[in-house]
Amino acid sequence: MNAQAEISDTSFDMLVDIESEEIATGGNLLLRCAVRATPARDLRGKSVQIFDHEGALVGCLPFTMLDGATNTTDPASFAVPVALGSHTWRAVISAVPKSAAPQGEAAQEFFFKVVPHRSSLLVWGAPSAIALGQSFDVTIGLKCSGGCNMAGREIHIYDATGSRVASSVMSADTHQGSSGLHETKVTLPAPADVSRQVWQARIARDDDAPTHEGAEASFCLNFVHPPEHRVTITVLDASTKAPLGGANITAHPFWAKASAEGVATFLVSSGSYKVWVSAPGHDPVCKHIEVTGDHQSVAELSPEIKEDPDAMYY
């Protein structure tokens, strides 16, 4: 019996192993094949042919390994179609004629989906408190999962009511130290009412090649009466009375950082505030202040008590 007759009497069980069932348009499909032959056959030197959804040959995967009755190929990558949606491809053992083996035994269909590139949208840099009726700036960042140049994409900003309040075009500038994160500054108008609101930045889907999906990012904003009183907090070490430069002071929604002399000064509107003061290596403290005019006070922070790792506990 010749080799062709022998393989014609063989049945095959094929597995097509795909790294991912979703591939971004313009990307590559990584796959390999495993074929179990009954009776066992050594298929090394032969290959699996890969045909696309139109029946065109896109490449071959040579068999390189044999483990008992199972022949496997090395992984290989194939460019996927640009068109979005599900695609059905076919793997066929090249050594087996179409009429030689029972239908389906020497071939296997497999499926994958081509999806748009993901877009990531970020918003940062908004002031901690924004005076009513004033304008303010935020920074918007945009990045493509495939590393595409996102310059020129249009960004829209919507307020808490869903009304568009601003639009901007993404610049070619990239955030320092980042890889492909484009950024641009946008000036926004504050409303006329005191409130805490959630706004959104949105980018529409782009159907140019390669296709990019839309994205949105929410960000919180605090709108307050125009600050009219100056608050000065001096931060000291409770033990040494030395100033604690760089201490953080939060009187929500206002925030400040102490100077090298331990002094933080910031403007607030009238009202009652819970002031949190913290510094590295010290226990934080909380102060309650009532602001009806300019205010000055001192916050003393005790050094943290460090546990002795050699101490014994009973």
Question: What architecture is domain 3-115?
Answer: Sandwich (2.60)
DSSP 8-state symbol, 303: B
Looking at per-residue pLDDT, the higher value among 189 and 11 belongs to: 189
Q: For the chain, what are the domain ranges?
A: 3-115, 119-224, 229-301
Positive or negative, the CA dihedral 19, 107, 12, 63 is: negative
Q: Report strand pairing: 28-38 vs 11-18.
A: antiparallel
Question: Do the domains spanning 3-115 and 229-301 agree at the CATH topology level?
Answer: yes
Over residues 173-204, the pLDDT tens digits come to 888 888 889 999 999 999 999 999 999 999 99
How far is residue 46's CA from residue 189's CA, in Å, rounded to a whole number?
68
As a whole number, the mean pLDDT across the chain is 89
Task: Assign 106 a pLDDT band (cuts: 50, 70, 90).
Answer: confident
CA atoms within 13 Å, Cβ hemisphere of 188: 32
Task: Assign 100 a pLDDT band (cuts: 50, 70, 90).
Answer: very low
CATH superfamily entry for domain 119-224: Immunoglobulins (2.60.40.10)
DSSP 8-state symbol, 180: S
The correct CATH number of 229-301 out of 2.60.40.1120, 3.30.1360.40, 1.10.3720.10, 2.60.120.10 is 2.60.40.1120
Q: Which of 55, 52, 7, 56 shows the shortest CA–CA distance to 31?
A: 52
